[in-house]
Amino acid sequence: MSDSHFKGKEVVEHLYDARLKGKAATSEVHGAELPGHFFSCFDAIKETAILMLILHLLAFQTYLFLIFILLLMVYKFGRSSLLGWIRLQRLHRLIEEERWEIEHHRQQERKELEALYQAKGFSGRMLQEVVDVLMADDNRLLQVMLEEELGLTLEAFEHPLKQGFGALIGVLIAGIVLYACLFIPFGVWIGALLLVGVTAGLSAKKERNPIASSVIWNISLTLLIGLLTIFLKAML
């Protein structure tokens, strides 16, 4: 069952390609299952902690520390928001492409629906009734094709500014903690390792990954970076 709309492929092959397109177009840059604002916040905390540790070990001045925190807040907010907008633009493009197909290739869309619901176990008259109901409402059909054909979960998309504010808050939290730690012995070491460990643990918990191994790996990486900074500074 080939058709020009399917570019010479079977319906099932077309559906497989469509699912890959939906996955690629909506994939997160960070590749995590966390909500975008949570990831932006946790990632910003860890990144800020490691950067501040490096700068502190390089004898960074306190006033420069504050300036750097402010600039990093602006950068992380802008970067996270921009990545969110890019992802939304890809989603809008897919929606418009699917809407156009519904308006101009209804029979092919019907074949796709039949293949999708056959895979779910529908057959015979029940299959045709389900397809007829979905085909009767273009808005419902659009939602079904986006979710079933392309594999999108529309409720999972967050506003880009929400992700941006998540990153901004992450830098602010880390900045406050680390600035307070400047005035105690080995404070930045303690603050950086604490921030990295806590955020790694929270991320692993939300993603249902092993908490202990995530914390250990992240803290170990932070220690390695700090020790390498000391070593390279001494060498130079």
Going from the first residue of the chain to its last (236 residues), give the mean pLDDT of each consecutive group of 10, the final group possibly shorter: 47 48 46 63 86 81 82 88 84 80 78 78 81 79 73 67 89 92 90 94 89 94 92 85
Q: Give domain limits for the chain.
A: 4-235
Give the separation between CA 127 and CA 130, rounded to whole angstroms.
Answer: 5
Give the separation between CA 45 and CA 38, rounded to whole angstroms.
Answer: 11
In this structure, the chain runs to a length of 236
Alpha helix positions (H), the chain: 11-26, 36-57, 62-104, 106-119, 124-135, 138-144, 160-181, 187-207, 211-235
What is the model's pTM? 0.66
Q: What is the DSSP letter of 5?
A: G
Q: What is the pLDDT of residue 212?
A: 95
For residue 39, with 0-12 CB atoms within 10 Å meaning exposed, 13-18 middle and 19 or more buried, which class applies? buried
Give the separation between CA 145 and CA 231, rounded to whole angstroms.
Answer: 56
Q: What is the pLDDT of residue 6?
A: 44
Q: What is the pLDDT of residue 174?
A: 92
Asked if 197 contacts 46 with a C-beta cutoff of 8 angstroms, the reply is no
Q: CA distances (Å), 94 to each of 29, 83, 123, 163, in order?
A: 18, 17, 29, 22
Give the separation between CA 9 and CA 45, rounded to whole angstroms.
Answer: 47
Residue appearing with tokens 């699917």: 98
Asked if 191 contacts 49 with a C-beta cutoff of 8 angstroms, the reply is yes
Write out the two tokens for 170.
């992450």
Q: What is the pLDDT of residue 115?
A: 81
